[in-house]
Homo-oligomer: A and B are copies of this chain.
């Protein structure tokens, strides 16, 4: 069992976009450079986030990505589902319908006990991730000393002129 690598990148990207607010964003190039990953593959993750309504994309010369919702309304499970899709980890192949003692299909409407047990465990897993928001992760960054260095990040972002802002007009980065 293994989660897609892109999930980690996607969550980090949301974490970086969150303090910028909905008026500012980052280009794909900036996101990839900041995280030290390949831009074309980072693009794929961002596209999935965009399709799921988690980020908004702007094309054109000053285009880039912006968070589409307040960080408090984006859970870790939202990101997981956007990247991985909704398929469950345990997939029942209906063994009970195979072999010499196969059950007829008509008697197999309900999921078997094994599949039900795994479904319950996965529901608990999803529940845990759904209870944690991007805002929670960012809050940890502000207090903890072992995660991303927000101060250094802000400096880098400001010196990276092409990165922001997406839309002209007011707004600042005081949210940091």
Contacts and interface: CB of A to CB of B under 8 A. Distances in A.
Interface of A: 1-5, 7-9, 11-12, 15, 33-37, 76, 84, 87, 89-93, 95-96, 98-103, 107-110, 112-114, 117-118, 120-122, 124-129, 132, 137, 140-141, 144-149, 152-153, 156
Contacts of A141: 113
A170 to B, nearest CB: 27
Nearest to A96: B148
A134 B102 CA distance: 21
B152 A96 contact: no
Contacts of A152: 101
Number of this chain's copies in the complex: 2
Contacts of A129: 117-118, 121
Contact of A2 (B5, B89, B95, B149): B89
Contacts of A35: 95, 98-99
Given A99-B35, A100-B156, A156-B101, A5 B149 contact: no
Contacts of A9: 95
Nearest to A15: B114
B128 A124 contact: yes
Most buried by B among A33, A34, A112, A120: A112
Given A33-B100, A100-B33, A90 B8 contact: yes
Given A113-B137, A113-B141, A153 B34 contact: no
B156 A1 contact: no
Nearest to A137: B113
Nearest to A157: B101
A117 B3 contact: no
